[in-house]
Amino acid sequence: MIPIAYPVIEKEEKLLVEEVLNSRMLASGKYVETFERDFAKYSGAKFAIATTNGTTALHAALLMCGVKRGDKVVTTPFSFIATSNSILFCGAKPVFADIDPQTFNISAESLEKVLKKEKNVKAVIIVHLYGLTCDMDAILKLKKKYKFKLIEDACQAHGAQYKGKKAGSFGDAAAFSFYATKNMMTGEGGIVLTNDAKADKYARQIINHGRDGHSTFTVLGYNYRLTNLAAAIGIAQLGKLEKWILKRTENAQKYNNAFKELDFIKTPFVPENSRHVFHQYTVRVKAGERNKFMNYLKENGVGCGIYYDTVLYRQPYYKKLGYKAGLCPQAEKAAKEAVSLPVHPSLSDSDTDKIIKVIKGYKK
Ligand SMILES: *Cc1c(COP(=O)(O)O)cnc(C)c1O
């Protein structure tokens, strides 16, 4: 089976991890500091704070933006559950805006409707889904008009660009994940970016038990620190990220060309001025056809996945909170139609050829 994801581990990762092991500095230290500096520089943000994972990065980002109990935070329901769970961690209320069916990302139009209706929205979490940046001009215009804190969930968008500017450099704070299957990984890991020196200082307290100086704890904090061991993997991975993005883009282009004439598949839309980094290559098939299509792929040795088959507010825990079906019709439709195909940089030419051949051989 050609896997949907495959973490690349080469000599660079092994050498740096061995260095850390030999140094006996396994927890915090200079590898974390180097990784933070490198990732901030790469992403075009002033400050980076490494965390245990993307979920804790999101939690820290919300706290940095001052999100408190009872606040409203708007987000997309077509994402991984951690996006909206992090809002609940703060005691705040997730409010959902629908997606743009073309890009799968939050729709600025739907976001404005929600902002008009809900007074006092404290923050908005946008998600650059599958590696495609959101409609940033429109969203930044809304930020100016409605004065909310903007958080980017860039957990799938390392290196993605909008008009030449990188994901993670637009908002008051941004969260990235380095989970094993992301475009770059540290096993488990995450990072928060910000351009605000005060937010950076506060984030360092949040992720380190609230510590201010040596043994004073002035805010409620957590232990969300990344380890030197994980950071060592991240330093090596970041050095290869651009090469991997090019390979993902090449694979995606090859699929686009091959699937152009197929009427049962809708290929991903990439707006002008956007650099999609293809964390996922996600197509749409008719809702009633998806099971059959995916079974056919798997029977023929092609791994595939659904991201995501349920909108967040229809997950059992959220149902209990009172959210109703029908809230975001475009997201609910996408959840029935989306299928992701392998696009990762470890695919060989014969892998992508096989995937194309299998899909072209599909009979409705
Ligand atoms: C992976 C992911 C997260 C969570 O990251 P973890 O490192 O797994 O905690 C959050 N949001 C999105 C969109 C993700 O893809």
β-partners of residue 282 are: 340
Residue type, 358: V
Instruction: Please give the Cα distance from 223 to 206 (Å, whole number).
Output: 8
**pLDDT, tens only, 108-125:** 999 999 999 998 999 999
Contacts of 14 (CB under 8 A, 6+ apart): none
Distance of CA 24 to the CA centre of its chain: 32
Cβ 274 under 6 angstroms from ligand 1: no
User: What residues contact residue 125 under an 8 Å CB cut-off, 6+ apart?
Assistant: 58, 62, 73, 74, 75, 76, 83, 86, 87, 151, 152, 153
pLDDT, one tens digit per residue, over 305-330 is 999 999 999 999 999 999 999 999 99
Q: Confirm or reject: Cβ of 80 under 6 Å from ligand 1.
A: yes
Pocket lining: 51 vs ligand 1, CB cutoff 6 Å: no
* Residue in 147, 96, 152 with CA at minimum distance from that of residue 122: 147
Is 155 touching ligand 1 by the criterion CB < 6 Å?
Answer: yes
Q: CB of 240 within 8 A of CB of 72?
A: no
Distance of alpha carbon 307 from alpha carbon 203, whole angstroms: 30
φ/ψ bin of 131: left (φ > 0), alpha (ψ from -120 to 50), beta (otherwise): left
* Cα Rg of the chain, angstroms: 20
Cα(176) to ligand 1 centroid in Å equals 7
> Which ligand 1 atom sits closest to the C-alpha of 86?
10
Residues in the chain: 364
Q: Is 36 in the pocket of ligand 1 (CB under 6 A)?
A: no
Q: CB of 82 closer than 6 A to ligand 1? A: yes
Is any atom of ligand 1 closer than 6 Å to the C-beta of 79? yes
Q: Which residue lies with its CA nearest to atom 2 of ligand 1?
A: 155
Cβ contact 115:67 at 8 Å? no
Q: Is 156 in the pocket of ligand 1 (CB under 6 A)?
A: yes
* Interval between CA 40 and ligand 1 midpoint (Å): 19
> Which atom of ligand 1 is the closest one to the Cα of 156?
15
Ligand 1: atom nearest CA of 307 is: 15
Best CA proximity match to 178, nearest among 314, 329, 51: 51
Would you write out the chain's pLDDT as a tens digit for each of its 364 residues? 999 999 999 999 999 999 999 999 999 999 999 999 999 999 999 999 999 999 999 999 999 999 999 999 999 999 999 999 999 999 999 999 999 999 999 999 999 999 999 989 999 999 999 999 999 999 999 999 999 999 999 999 999 999 999 999 999 999 999 999 999 999 999 999 999 999 999 999 999 999 998 889 999 999 999 999 999 999 999 999 999 999 999 999 999 999 999 999 999 999 999 999 999 999 999 999 999 999 999 999 999 999 999 999 999 999 999 999 999 999 999 999 999 999 999 999 999 999 999 999 998 7
**Is the CB of residue 265 less than 8 Å from the CB of residue 259?**
yes
DSSP characters over 164-205: TEETTSSSSEEEEE--TTSSS--SS-EEEEES-HHHHHHHHH
